[in-house]
Structure 1
Amino acid sequence: MGMSVTISAADERDAEQILKLQYLCFQSEAELYGDYRIEPLVQTLDDLRAELAASCVLVARLGEEVVGTVRGKVDAEGTARIGRLCVHPRLQGHGLGGRLLAAIEDRLAAEHAPRRYHLVTGGRSEGNLRLYRRSGYAPVGTERDRQVTLIALAKDAAEYATSA
C-alpha cells in the first residue's frame, strides 16, 4: 500500500529538509537562466529559520520526507505574497504544486483575509506560468532580478473566494 502526500504547517525541525529541497528544485531554474546565484540557491539556513518564524510556511510530506513546500505572508496593504513553491522533481506533474498553492491561499485567507494574492516567477518558466494561470493568476507586470526577467502575477481574493 502506498503512502499519500499530506500538507501541513512547517516548523523549525523542517528547516534543513526545506532548504535541501529548495536547493534541488531551483537548480533547473538556475540552469534555465544561467544564473546560479538566484535567491533560493543562496539562502542560508539561518535566513530560512527566520522566515519560518515570520511567515506561513507549508510542507508536503510523503511519510517523513518533505517533498514540497510553499511560503506566504500578508503585507500591510493586504496583499498575500506567495513564493518559493517547489515540488521534488520525482513528484512533479501530479498536481502537488496546485495543491500546495491552494493550501497556502486557504491558510492565508483564514488567518489574514488578504485583498489579493501576488507571486512572481521567471519569464521562461513555462510550467510555472501554466500552473499559476490555471489557478486564476494573471500577469500584472515584470520585475528584473539581475539577469532574470520575472513575471508578476496576481488575483483578487474575492475571485479566489468564489472559485474555492
Structure 2
Amino acid sequence: MGQNVRVDTADVADAEQILKLQYLCYQGEAALYNDYGLAALTQSLDSLKAEFATHTVLVARLGDEVVGSVRGVVEDGVARIGRLIVHPRLQGHGLGTRLLNAVEDRLAHAESFELFTGHRSEDNLRLYARLGYAEARVERVGPRLSLVYLTKATTLAA
C-alpha cells in the first residue's frame, strides 16, 4: 500500500484534512501521557493555515486522501521539523521515513535538523535513532511529560 502513496508539497486547501489527521494521530500520544491538552490537539485551523506562509508543509496522499504529513521551518540555521503524522492504518509501512526524508531534502540548506518527541514515545524515538538522530537534551514541560530533543547534521554540514 505504501508504494501507492505519493509525497507532495501541501497546499493550504489541504489544511483541514491535515488537521483532522493530526487530531486522530495524536490521540495515542495524549493517552500515553494522560494529557489531552497537547498543542497538536488544540491547534486551530487558522493557526495551521498560517504555518503555510512560514513552513514547508508536506503531505502523503493515497488517492485524494491525506494519510500523512510533516512540516518544518529553518530558524537560525536549524531546520526544526515537527508534526510528523501517519494515519494509523498505514503505520509500519515506511511512510513516516519517506515523509521525514522528504522534508529533510527540502530543508537541506540548513546546518542541522532538530525535532522532538515525548520521553515515553518509544516508537518515535526508535524511528528517529534509526534515521540518524541523536538525543541532544531533555526538557521537562509538565509533571507527566518531558520532551526529548534530537538533532542530526545535514549532509552539507557533515
Q: TM-score range by the shorter chain?
A: over 0.9
Extract unaligned runs of 5+ from structure 1: none
Q: Kindly state the Cα deviation for residue 2 of structure 1 after the two structures are TM-superposed.
A: 9.6
Alignment-derived partner of residue 8 in structure 2: 8
Q: Does 1:67 align with 2:67?
A: yes
Distance of 2:88 and 2:2 partners within structure 1? 18
Alignment-derived partner of residue 107 in structure 1: 106
Letter of the structure 2 residue corresponding to residue 137 of structure 1:
Y
Q: Kindly state the Cα deviation for residue 17 of structure 1 after the two structures are TM-superposed.
A: 0.1
Correspondent of 2:151 among 135, 154, 157: 154
Identity of aligned residues (%): 61
For the residue of structure 1 that corresponds to 2:135, the secondary structure is strand
Q: Kindly state the Cα deviation for residue 148 of structure 1 after the two structures are TM-superposed.
A: 1.2
Q: Does 1:140 align with 2:136?
A: yes
TM-align CA RMSD: 1.7
Q: Kindly state the Cα deviation for residue 122 of structure 1 after the two structures are TM-superposed.
A: 0.5
C-alpha distance 4-43 of structure 1, shift in aligned 2 (>3 A): same
C-alpha distance 2-78 of structure 1, shift in aligned 2 (>3 A): closer
| Runs (4+) off by over 4 Å | none
Q: Does 1:116 align with 2:112?
A: yes
Distance of 2:67 and 2:157 partners within structure 1? 27
More helix by share: 1
Letter of the structure 2 residue corresponding to residue 81 of structure 1:
R
Distance of 1:40 and 1:144 partners within structure 2? 18
For the residue of structure 1 that corresponds to 2:66, the secondary structure is strand
C-alpha distance 22-2 of structure 1, shift in aligned 2 (>3 A): closer
Alignment-derived partner of residue 37 in structure 2: 37
CA distances 1:94-123 after superposition (whole Å, capped 9, x unpaired): 0000000000000111xxx10000000000
Alignment-derived partner of residue 91 in structure 1: 90
Distance of 1:152 and 1:2 partners within structure 2? 28
User: How many residues align structurally?
Assistant: 157
Does the aligned pair in 2 maintain the 1:3–1:62 contact within 8 Å?
Answer: no
Distance of 2:58 and 2:145 partners within structure 1? 26
